[in-house]
Chains A and B, each alone.
Chain A
């Protein structure tokens, strides 16, 4: 009998035949996908050369996915401008959505019935209509309001006048449309976070003499964040892609830029791929950011924070290396009795 934990029990592991078959099938499928992505096709043209009086001809081939065109436009100024606008629109609309969402969630939970029913109606309206319709609506709002003014309702008293056409330029219309719509979804996310905080936390804050506002700001919201952050990350990623709808109201974001280019050169697929690759890149960056944000707000909730992907990778590599290292002989220690 060994007294230290050095020698593990020697067993023949169960063979997972199903897993091996599934793995093999997956490898074939992935290989097929990679093959088609980088396959070349005939263009129908033939190129001929005469070398030493001998004329040889062979068909001209091209990437099926036109990677050369994708690569050419990938960092073109139109696409990069569009990309910048996409990022700008995503950030601003999300900020607007988060601020609105938290405000509406707090209103929804207010003991004041008028506030809570207003908040409910807001969510009902903006979740109940498609965001595409809302964007078209804000884009065309100047058709029903030539000018906007702030004043006293049902009187002619007005403090501020704004021309609607100049206010609702395509970018602002898109921003307002996306932001208001996002506010409705964010309010539900924020509300679920606020409700998830234990009632005892609020009582403890009150017993210290904190006001309602302080309790919300210092105790409830920071703890609600843990619940709010993961779905908000999803919302940011979803928003990034929803901004592509703004191209329908003549905002030249990344998809709009791609469309403008292929309208001129008819290279539809390569430019759609260009836009898609950019979306994928930003989504990846956002996912990484989300991981670290979640880790930050999980403090206090978990005894040990989850490892970072890099730490996990290091651990995995170490594990695999350990497997391949030559196993120690079962009995190396001298038996001293």
Chain B
């Protein structure tokens, strides 16, 4: 399967400047692409467009030769930067996982999710612990593509490594495609096959 952005442009209003202009890129399932750019170049907007949260002003998002479906479970799932905003504070964490789909308890140990957390409220866990639930939720939905928007920025390095190892392992098992948005070039070089620089709108040499 192939996720493609064709001549993607976006602005919030006719009188406002373009946030994204004529952006082309593509990812295959099983491959990993890093998106890098300084702040304000529309990395998050691109992520929202690719996962169907926003509709492009011009151009289109193509999944497997067809436009991205608007109804039903989206095969492209986005994981946000702030897990505490992406989880309803009045839900118990069991509900959060069930939102993704059928509960699979065998993935808990790998993500460091403890069973007793399931009955707690989000306010009782740390951001790093909540992010594991967001990742697990996205994986449970059976998505073919995962977009990770700065998901490990607020985590300590050990937790970062744990989460990324797990995501990469799951992505390999399920042959998912991954788009990683990050400011951390070292991370991008380490885990991705390709790096796309949104500020220059071109693929970047991994060695440089």
Query: Do A and B associate with each other?
Result: no
Q: Enumerate chain A interface residues (CB-CB to B < 8 A).
A: none
Q: Enumerate chain B interface residues (CB-CB to A < 8 A).
A: none
